[in-house]
Each structure stands twice: as C-alpha cells, then as structure tokens.
C-alpha cells in the first residue's frame, strides 16, 4: 500500500474508546486491590468488618481474582486491541458501534459478577466463580469480541505478523476455554472428570486468554519502542505454534496426586516442561532484539515495564516446570507458594505489560506528555518492589507450611508460623496499591494538563 | 509495503541471516521432536485405556478437549503453509514497522 492509499490513524482507531477501556480497567484494578487488601487483613486477624456478610473476606477474595481477570485484564486488553489491530491490519474493526456496545455490555458483566459474588451466588469453579446466569452473557460478549476483531484480520492476505497469529488464537481460545470451564462441569460432566476440566480451565485462562494477548502486544509494542524489528520472526512463530500445541494440556498439573490417571498427570508435566522450552525461545528473541539498545531499559519507561515483565515471565515458567514435578508438588500443594506464583504471573507479568502499554499510550491518547516523569518512576518502583517482595515472601512461606503439614503438626502451628509472612504480604500489597494510586493521580494531572492545552489552543 | 528481504544485504549480514535461520531450525527440532515423542507415547496410553479399564474412561473428557483444540490448530497450521503464510518468513516484521512509521508520519 502506497503512503497515499494509507488510511488515517483517526479513521482506524477510536481513541475515546481506548481511553474508556483503560480507565475502566484501572478502576477495576483499584477495586481488586481493595479486595486483596481486605483479605490480607483477614489473614493477620485484623479484618475490619467481622460478621458483615456482604463484605465477607471469602467473597472479596473471589471478587479480587475475578475482577482482575475480567475487569482489569480484559478491559485493558480490549483497549490495547482497539489500538493495535486496526493499525496492524489498516482496517477498522467490524463496527465501532459494536465496540461501544461491547464496552458497555462487558462492564455490566463484570459488575454483575462482583455483585453476584457479594450476594453469595458464586459458581463452584476456581477463577470461574461468575454466577451461572452471567455465563451465557459473558460467552456472547466473547463471541462479539471475536467477530469484531476477526473481521479486519480475516481480510488480510499474505504472510501475517506474529502478533496477529497470537490475537487470532486468543479470540478462539478464550471463547472455547470459557465455555469449557463454565458449562461442562456445571451441566455435562461430574466427579473427577469435572475436576480435570476445572484444572484445564484455570490454567487455560492464563495460557490461552492472557498469554497470547500479552505476547501479541509485546511483539507489537517492543519493536515500535526500540524502533527496530524483532530479532527473528521465524523464531517468534516457533513460540506461537509451540504454545498452540503444548499449552492446552498443562492444566491437569493442578491436580497431581488425584484419582486422574497417572498417564494424564505425566502428560501435563511433560507439556509444562515443553512450554518452558518454548518460552525460552520467545525470551531469546526479545533479549536478542534488545541487544544494542540496552540503554532503553533506563531511558524508556514502557520498555522497562515490558522487560521486567519478561524476566518475571521466565521465572514463573521456570518455577512452573519445577513445581509440576511430583516431588515438588507433594511439598507445595495448597501452600502460599502457589499464591506467590500466581501473583508473580498476574501482576509481575501481565499487569506490568499492560501498565507499560498504558504508560506509552496515555500521552498519545491525551496528546500531551506525562504530567510527572517522577510519578511514573515511583509507580514502576513501588510496583516492582511490591511484587518482588510479595512473591518472594509467599514462595518462602510455602515450604514452611508444607513441611509443617508433612510432619502432621497441628493446623494452628502452620497458621502461627504463617502470620509473619502474611504481615509482609500486606506491606508488599500496600506498596503495589500505592503505586497504582500514584499512577491514577498522574493520569488525572495529565488529563488536566491536556484539557488546559486544548483550551489554550482553541483560544489562539 | 512488501520488500525483498535478501536484496541489498551486505556480505556481513548474509552469514548472520544464515546463522539465525539455523538457530531457528535447531531450536525447533530440539523442542518439537522430544515433545512429539512424549505426546505420541501418551496418546498410545490413552487409546489402551479407552479400550481397557472402564473406570479410567472418564479421563477421556479432558484429553478429547485437548485433541479437538489441537486438531483445529493443526488444520490452521496446514492452511497457513498451503497459503504461503511462511513463504517470506521475516518480511512481516519489517513491513509492519514501516506501516507504523507511515501512520505516525501522517499525523505530524
């Protein structure tokens, strides 16, 4: 396509929609962190609302996890997709009206989920506690998202950039994963088979919804930021197809030592280790791309978020390939090790990437530089120190709890020894929460600055 | 927007490109061969389970889920090969950046 035939950015991207998705995402992140904070207070026996059913920490823990997945991550991804897909394909989404409808409908889904959980209507599925009456609505929403974005992608001809492969797969996988997890155990299969499907759902939500969208965005934004192409596009496709074939069976590793046949448990372990090898190829590609531009880690804030997230990603996958071995699993199952691992993945990796994307896009969307570079730096460091401290703390706590259980000590002993770890966890969470508050303040100031500038420009 | 990636390469770039292609192939083989072997072995065990002990048949549910998803991606992979999606494998990384540059240039 010649420069004259190129569509305008304004025709392709609805910037107001991108901002709306990002603001909704950050609002949900605030709510989710508040839920985490309440649960952390409960763990150290300082819960401020004992006996209030609607604020029960058990329910707020579920709000914490569900709002992160469907409120923060989904909204932030949708915002970034509305920027990246039209620019990559040079075509608008199927319908901008449909995009606004999806935006409104998705907020209804997330808010209904939170309210349903508060009222005690949670579905008995880990990380899929969305009340059963919301599931068909959420699934219809995911179908609309897929149709809206697949329309421009499907009209492309010739070799496609790796980001679009990841996005295409994510649209299909997310729909299938949600349907499998929320409908099969509820209506079609029972007992151990339902447990196995639940395990697949939990892990596939990470690997087949969040991971392809996350990596797709990294393959899109990192070359733009570094102003050079990815080191090897061929290797990036090895990573994509490796994920496609090895990831779907990983979830059973959540149910080692259960009545699920051993061959299936071993298959999940092998698939998990295979994914670690695939992940290594992806990281080699990104770090080879960074070669010669290392100073960007200091000077470019989005790049710093992206690569910090990649380091956490490598650590979590490495951890995963160890913790899915039977020996390791016997010690850490049900302990806080797993909670530390989950926080490192969800916050240290995917939230870092999305916060990096927002750090890059907000000034472009608001047409002005950030109001405070210092506040950007504070946001990054508070988040980094917070998540490092929280993950390390919980990962260390895990073996203490595991050994106390293995020795058949009274349950109270493991609680007593955990409390210092849970106190540190609270401090770490507060650091991350403070980082978010600094970021929200910076967005507010930048918004005010942007309005002031546009007001001045209008008066000139 | 399409460019010939090998045209205009300096003598220094050519061996680098060859090296990168070889490292891609080696990594692909190192990852795919052992994983496919392990997968094949487990598939054989699944088939023998399905034909044998009735109590173990419930394990087929998650595996069938996995096989259906993988089968879809296998067909997509075949479609991609047949439609030349991997014909000039390194070109998309350059053409996408060029498009991005042009989109941003027109805004200035």
- What are A23-45's pLDDT values in tens digits? 999 999 999 999 999 999 999 99
Smallest CA–CA distance, residue B8 to chain A, in Å, is: 17
Neighbours of B77 (CB within 10 A): 16
Tokens 């596009």 identify what position?
Answer: A233
Lowest-confidence pick of A29-43, A189-203, A234-248, A394-408: A189-203
Say yes or no to pLDDT of A198 above 90: no
pLDDT value at residue A29: 98
Residue A226 CA to residue B73 CA, distance in Å, equals 32
- What are A72-115's pLDDT values in tens digits? 999 999 999 999 999 999 999 999 999 999 999 999 999 999 99
Cβ separation A281–B31 shorter than 8 A: yes
Global pTM reads 0.90
Cβ separation A248–B69 shorter than 8 A: yes
Lowest-confidence pick of A123-137, A247-261, A354-368, B38-52: B38-52
Please report residues of A whose CB lies closer than 8 A to that of B59. 193, 196, 260-261, 263-264
B90 and chain A in contact, CB less than 8 A = yes
- Report the percent of chain A where pLDDT is more than 90: 77
Please report residues of B whose CB lies closer than 8 A to that of A266. 42
Q: Which of A8, A228, A263 sits opposite B45 (nearest CB)?
A: A263
pLDDT value at residue B2: 39
| pLDDT, greater one: A157 or A332 | A332
CB A192 within 8 A of CB B58: yes
pLDDT class of B4 with cuts at 50, 70, 90 = very low
- Report the percent of chain B where pLDDT is more than 70: 77
Q: Which of A1, A274, A284 sits opposite B35 (nearest CB)?
A: A274
pLDDT value at residue A318: 86
Cβ separation A224–B63 shorter than 8 A: no
Please report residues of B whose CB lies closer than 8 A to that of A233. 89-93
- What are A305-314's pLDDT values in tens digits? 999 999 999 9
Cβ separation A244–B73 shorter than 8 A: yes
pLDDT class of B44 with cuts at 50, 70, 90 = confident
Q: What average pLDDT score do residues A129-134 get?
A: 94
Query: How is chain B split into domains, by residue range?
Result: 10-52, 54-108
* Mean pLDDT estimate for chain A: 93
Cβ separation A159–B85 shorter than 8 A: yes
Cβ separation A260–B59 shorter than 8 A: yes
Lowest-confidence pick of A338-352, B15-29, B80-94: B15-29
Chain centre to alpha carbon of residue A405: 32
pLDDT class of B8 with cuts at 50, 70, 90 = low
CB A425 within 8 A of CB A390: yes
pLDDT value at residue B5: 45
Say yes or no to pLDDT of A410 above 90: yes
Please report residues of A whose CB lies closer than 8 A to that of B106. 3, 6, 8-9
Please report residues of B whose CB lies closer than 8 A to that of A90. 99
pLDDT value at residue A313: 95
Q: Which of B24, B38, B58 sits opposite A234 (nearest CB)?
A: B24
pLDDT value at residue B3: 41
Cβ separation A159–B89 shorter than 8 A: yes
Q: What average pLDDT score do residues A291-313 get?
A: 97
Query: What tokens were used for A378?
Result: 């504070």
Q: Which of A223, A264, A281 sits opposite B97 (nearest CB)?
A: A223
Please report residues of B whose CB lies closer than 8 A to that of A277. 30-31, 35
Please report residues of B whose CB lies closer than 8 A to that of A263. 42, 45-46, 49, 59
Q: What is the ipTM of this complex?
A: 0.84
């Amino acid at each position: 396509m010649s420069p004259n035939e190129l569509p305008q950015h304004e025709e392709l991207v609805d910037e107001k929609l991108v901002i709306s998705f990002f603001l909704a995402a950050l609002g949900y992140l605030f709510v989710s962190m508040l839920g985490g904070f309440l649960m952390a207070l409960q763990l150290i026996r300082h819960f401020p609302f004992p006996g209030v059913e609607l604020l029960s920490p058990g329910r707020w823990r579920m709000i914490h996890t569900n709002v992160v997945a469907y409120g923060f991550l989904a909204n932030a991804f949708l915002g970034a997709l509305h920027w990246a897909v039209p620019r990559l394909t040079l075509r608008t989404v199927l319908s901008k009206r449909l995009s606004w409808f999806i935006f409104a409908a998705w907020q209804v889904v997330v808010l209904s989920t939170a309210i349903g959980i508060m009222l005690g209507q949670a579905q008995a599925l880990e990380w899929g506690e969305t009340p059963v009456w919301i599931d068909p609505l959420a699934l219809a929403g995911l179908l609309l998202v897929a149709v809206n974005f697949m329309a421009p992608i499907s009209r492309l001809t010739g070799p496609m950039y790796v980001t679009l492969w990841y996005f295409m797969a994510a649209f299909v996988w997310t729909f299938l994963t949600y349907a499998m997890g929320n409908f099969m155990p509820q209506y079609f299969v029972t007992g151990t088979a339902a447990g196995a499907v639940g395990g697949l759902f939990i892990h596939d939500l990470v690997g087949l919804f969040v991971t392809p969208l996350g990596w797709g965005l990294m393959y899109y934004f990192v070359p733009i930021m570094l102003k050079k192409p990815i080191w090897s596009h061929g290797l990036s496709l090895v990573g994509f197809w490796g994920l496609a074939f090895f990831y779907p069976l990983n979830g059973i590793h959540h149910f080692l030592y259960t009545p699920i046949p051993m061959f299936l448990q071993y298959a999940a372990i092998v698939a998990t280790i295979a994914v670690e090898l695939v992940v290594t190829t992806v990281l080699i590609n990104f770090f080879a791309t960074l070669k010669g531009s290392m100073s960007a880690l200091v000077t470019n804030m989005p790049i710093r978020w992206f690569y910090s997230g990649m380091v956490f990603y490598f650590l979590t996958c490495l951890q995963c390939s160890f913790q899915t071995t039977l020996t390791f699993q016997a010690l850490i199952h049900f302990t806080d090790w797993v909670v530390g691992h989950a926080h490192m993945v969800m916050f240290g990796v995917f939230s870092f990437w999305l916060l990096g994307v927002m750090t890059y896009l907000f000034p472009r969307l608001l047409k002005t530089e950030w109001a405070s570079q210092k506040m950007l730096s504070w946001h990054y460091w508070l988040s980094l120190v917070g998540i490092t401290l929280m993950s390390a703390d919980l990962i260390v706590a895990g073996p203490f709890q595991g050994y106390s259980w293995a020795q058949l000590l009274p349950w109270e002993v493991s609680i007593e020894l955990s409390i210092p770890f849970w106190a540190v966890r609270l401090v770490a969470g507060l650091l991350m929460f403070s980082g978010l508050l600094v970021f929200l303040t910076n967005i507010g100031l930048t918004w005010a600055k942007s309005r002031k500038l546009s007001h001045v420009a209008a008066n000139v | 927007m399409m460019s010939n990636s090998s045209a205009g390469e300096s003598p220094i770039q050519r061996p680098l490109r060859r090296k990168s292609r070889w490292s891609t192939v080696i990594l692909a083989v190192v990852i795919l061969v052992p994983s496919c072997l392990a997968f094949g072995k487990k598939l054989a065990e699944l088939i023998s389970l399905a034909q044998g002990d009735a109590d173990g048949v419930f394990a087929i549910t998650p595996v069938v889920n996995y096989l259906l998803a993988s089968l879809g991606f296998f067909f997509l992979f075949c479609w991609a090969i047949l439609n030349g999606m991997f014909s000039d494998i390194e070109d998309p990384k350059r053409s996408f950046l060029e498009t991005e540059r042009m989109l941003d240039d027109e805004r200035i």
